[in-house]
Structure 1
Amino acid sequence: MRFTRRTALALVAAPGLARAQPLPARPVRIVVPFPPGGPTDFAARLVGDGMQTALGQPVVIDNRPGGAGNIAAEYVVRSTPDGTTLLFSGSGLGINAALMDRLPFDAGRDLAPVVLVSSSPNLLTAGPRLNIADIAGLIAEAKRRPGEISVAVGSLGTTQHMAVELLKMRAGVDVTIVPYRGAAQAMNDLLAGTVDALSDGITSSLPQVRQGRVKALGVTSLQRSSSAPEIPAIAETLPGFDAVAWFGLHAPAGTPEPALAALNAAANAALAREDVRGRFADGGARVLGGSVAEARAHLANDVGRWTEVVRRTGARVQ
């Protein structure tokens, strides 16, 4: 939690706090780079509903899927920077900047981060083809058989993909990444023994782990997940290992600082609500919150570190 509970309660108790800030008196639009009904859309609506109460003006969701999230991002980048158009996105911004050569915008230059919303770890699992117990066993096996261990990912250009690239870089191993069009088929092939391991979101993989059908090797967050505290973090073997999916709110560059402050306060008030925090926790996510400065630093760090991973591993999306 990046803000104190006393501060959070004060924000909740003062729903008019952000209202006094200079935002135009019209609806705030939160642009979501995925279709309605999915987990990203659900999270954006949770935050938007809470912000609406704090701001005292409507907050609407605008779904603009496609282009690996770049369609929505470009729309926001080209919007009037007055605080009424926001992007609900996160880890994809840094990954796309690292993997894609010709983006029509620069996330670090053209977006103004407002607040960090949440983070969710991924989980690396092993199927029946690998007789290993933990991440150290995977690393040892990969070093013994370079290039022969296959690791499935539901899609390239995701934190699940980049977690495997980071593992290759940090552990000095050569594994073969096998991309799929969706995590469900990847899990089916893991269970069938077609691939050796899988990098996927923790909530998708946990049911198979708890049924004893696959072996959990490690979560990709710095600490263990509250959803499965019995599963070690990969960082316990490779200190500093961190490859989580995260979300935040971003405005167009040039948005006035008072408007960013008002939006930040409203978002923190929403994230402090127990019902909102509970819904995020149900989905395996950890609520973040915090200052505009923290959000800026986080995006800059994400772009920089994934650029370094791509440079050193030669990762590609095709």
Structure 2
Amino acid sequence: MHRREWLAATLALPGLAMPALAQPHWPSRPLRFIVPFAAGGPVEIPARFLAEALAPVLGQSVVVETRGGAGGAVGTQAVIASQDAHTFLFTTGAIAIQPALQPEIGYDPQKDLLPISLISEAPMGFAARPNGRVKDLAGLIALAKAQPGAITIGSSGNGTTTHMLSALFALRAGIEWTHVPYRGGGQMVGAFLGGDIDLMSVDLATGMPHVKEGRAVFIGQSGTARSPVLPEVPCLQEMVPGAALSIWFALLGPKGTPPEVAQKLAGALEGFRSSALAGRMAENGAALLLAGPETLAARLNMELPMWRQVVAQAGLKAE
């Protein structure tokens, strides 16, 4: 595409014209979306979808870089330290969980990061092996109460949203089981398929390929209503009130990101609300939100104190 054609297309996007004029040289090089979790997990999929869609609009490639460690803290700190207007954090609701689990984490999401947009939201669920000892939610609760700690459930890491789903469900159901954190969703799935754990707490996008291959079955999903992707699978809250929890994805920048850059990027995202990107997300059970910085800031304001309370009630600690 010639520069003149690209500029015309860019200025046609709602909310994008003024920032484009204010920052004619941004982006001047490829953007980086840092995913603060191991490769192969649930965050990498929507990050790559978004990166592919944004590249032609911004006129620069968007590189997705996975940088896991410390429940997302390593990658998050790398973004905070970057301050280059081309590096952004693509993360999950874990950004609101980590400060509760790790008070000495070294950063404050509200003070050190700038909300760009709430990207999408999707249910998670508990997956069991078809030939395993857990067949459904009723059997799960009965076994967990009869043999506290006997059931093992994996997550994609301590402090991740999948971990918090298992903790929230156990708290609301009044059961005890053994949480086994892994370094990313890929490692968890491998352990599950190898028979090392009874269940995995997992997002639908990561679990569905194994369900389709007959190697896993969802026994419950975490949304407030049944997902169109799995209409036959009951919601956790149908049996355990208060156990609903979605995994949400968000884009943030370092606090020092120039306002015009943040506005241009948020404006570009708004242009995808009616696009093929929504269909790609829906195929993986996610709803494309593209709600701007105010909505994301409000979500953080709500969830940061909520997770402090849940972590305290459940007696959770960084593992």
Global fold match (TM > 0.5): yes
Equivalent in 166, 176, 179 of residue 178 of structure 2: 176
- Determine the structure 1 residue equivalent to 2:13: 15
- Determine the structure 2 residue equivalent to 1:5: none
Equivalent positions of 1:1-318 (< 5 A) are 14-15=12-13, 17-21=15-19, 22-23=22-23, 25-27=25-27, 29-33=31-35, 40-54=43-57, 56-58=58-60, 60-61=62-63, 63=65, 65-67=67-69, 68-80=71-83, 84-127=86-129, 128-130=131-133, 132-133=135-136, 135-180=137-182, 182-190=187-195, 195-209=197-211, 214-253=216-255, 255=257, 259-274=261-276, 276-318=277-319
Change beyond 3 A, Cα 1:170–1:39: closer
SS across alignment from 1:270:
coil
Deviations along 1:98-138, one digit per CA (max 9) or x if unpaired, are: 222322211122112111112232221334453543x2432
Change beyond 3 A, Cα 1:19–1:72: farther
Q: Are 2:92 and 2:250, in contact at CA under 8 Å, matched by a contact in 1?
A: yes
Q: Match for 1:304: what amino acid?
A: P
Q: Match for 1:166: what amino acid?
A: L
Q: Are 1:31 and 1:88, in contact at CA under 8 Å, matched by a contact in 2?
A: yes
Deviations along 1:46-83, one digit per CA (max 9) or x if unpaired, are: 323444555x55353262613243333223323448x5
Distance 1:36 1:52 in 2: 21
Distance 1:214 1:72 in 2: 31
Q: Are 1:126 and 1:197, in contact at CA under 8 Å, matched by a contact in 2?
A: yes
Structure 1 residues without counterparts, runs of 5 or longer: 1-10
Distance 1:123 1:168 in 2: 13
Q: Match for 2:173: what amino acid?
A: A
Distance 1:248 1:132 in 2: 34
Distance 2:56 2:97 in 1: 33
Change beyond 3 A, Cα 1:14–1:186: same
Distance 1:45 1:238 in 2: 34
Q: Are 1:224 and 1:231, in contact at CA under 8 Å, matched by a contact in 2?
A: yes
229-238 or 258-267, which deviates more: 258-267
**Normalising by the residue count of structure 2, what TM-score does the alignment of the two structures yield?**
0.79
44-53 or 153-162, which deviates more: 44-53
SS across alignment from 2:245:
coil
Q: Are 2:42 and 2:203, in contact at CA under 8 Å, matched by a contact in 1?
A: no
1:175 CA displacement: 1.4
Distance 1:45 1:196 in 2: 30
1:164 CA displacement: 0.8
Distance 1:195 1:170 in 2: 22
Structure 2 residues without counterparts, runs of 5 or longer: 1-8
Q: How many residues align?
A: 301
Change beyond 3 A, Cα 1:264–1:142: same
Answer 1 or 2: higher relative contact order, Cα 8 Å, separation at least 6: 1
Change beyond 3 A, Cα 1:212–1:25: closer
SS across alignment from 1:163:
helix
Distance 2:96 2:79 in 1: 16
1:216 CA displacement: 2.6
Distance 2:72 2:268 in 1: 25
SS across alignment from 1:289:
strand
Deviations along 1:202-243, one digit per CA (max 9) or x if unpaired, are: 234335545665543211222222221211111222334333
Q: Are 1:23 and 1:84, in contact at CA under 8 Å, matched by a contact in 2?
A: no
Percent identical among aligned pairs is 30
Deviations along 1:233-290, one digit per CA (max 9) or x if unpaired, are: 112223343333321111222546554333222112134312x122223333321212
Distance 1:129 1:52 in 2: 44
